[in-house]
Chains A and B, each alone.
Chain A
């Protein structure tokens, strides 16, 4: 039973993969929002 270290490694790795993936989605959403804010700040040439 004590030789099952790969399960321990898998559990810890999966935990951090889940958290890092979620953090990555937050960072992506921030970047998209920053672009949107940049677009909003541009003077409207149509008016």
Chain B
């Protein structure tokens, strides 16, 4: 298993380097925005990856609510955590692109605001998981995750239903893109998806190990002779 992880890690590193090269060198320069448009090759794949991870969190939470499966609970936690990391990238790279293009860092338009709300929902989910010690925490978190997932399609389709400053979607909607740019975008998305998968894998193993250790601590304190428990 360790060997497979290592091989996948090396392949992902190569893919990420190739995707970076494609984004900076091969992709054509956009006529009006110039080089700043290349931020799009990190911003959009990060958003797509975050959305996929939030849907994985949704699926795992539903599964946990039905079956009370601990592995599903771990998958839900891990996908939310890595999803928040990718969503943070989206919220940071967006304003860096907006400053030179729109002249402002931020505007309270529907796409930007709903993305921020989505991020806050999942951050509150992680806070709940981190600081609540109740036995019902996974159940409460799974319910919150279901609500959070309902927000994802709203964020995606907000630029269809509301007048916003945000550019139109690349896939579907009214947006159009040069095929060479689309090619670079998809390679970056593939690279970030592989990276997200590996991070989730390693975080899953860590969480599972943490739970085993916590269980061992409980057993140790139960088996310890009276008065010797610290």
Contacts and interface: CB of A to CB of B under 8 A. Distances in A.
Q: Which interface class (under 10, 10 to 19, 20 to 34, 35 or more) fits A?
A: 20 to 34
A29 B210 CA distance: 9
B99 A14 contact: no
Main secondary structure of the interface of B (DSSP, over half): helix
A33 B39 contact: no
A43 to B, nearest CB: 12
Q: Which interface class (under 10, 10 to 19, 20 to 34, 35 or more) fits B?
A: 35 or more
Which of the listed residues B32, B33, B88, B220 has the most CB atoms from chain A within 10 Å of its own CB? B88
Interface in B61-109: 82, 85, 88-89, 92-93, 96-97, 99-101
Contacts, number: 85
A15 B210 CA distance: 28
Nearest to A12: B42
Interface stretch (B123-131, B154-162, B171-179, B201-209): B201-209
A36 B186 CA distance: 42
Given A1-B32, A40-B220, A29 B42 contact: no
B165 interface: no
B19 to A, nearest CB: 11
Interface of A: 1-5, 7-8, 10-12, 14-15, 18-19, 22-23, 26, 29-30, 33, 36-37, 40, 44, 46-47
A1 B33 CA distance: 6
Interface of B: 20, 29, 32-36, 38-39, 42-43, 46, 82, 85, 88-89, 92-93, 96-97, 99-101, 195, 199, 202-203, 206, 209-210, 213, 216-217, 220, 224-225, 228
Given A11-B97, A18-B92, A40-B216, A29 B206 contact: yes
A15 B228 contact: no
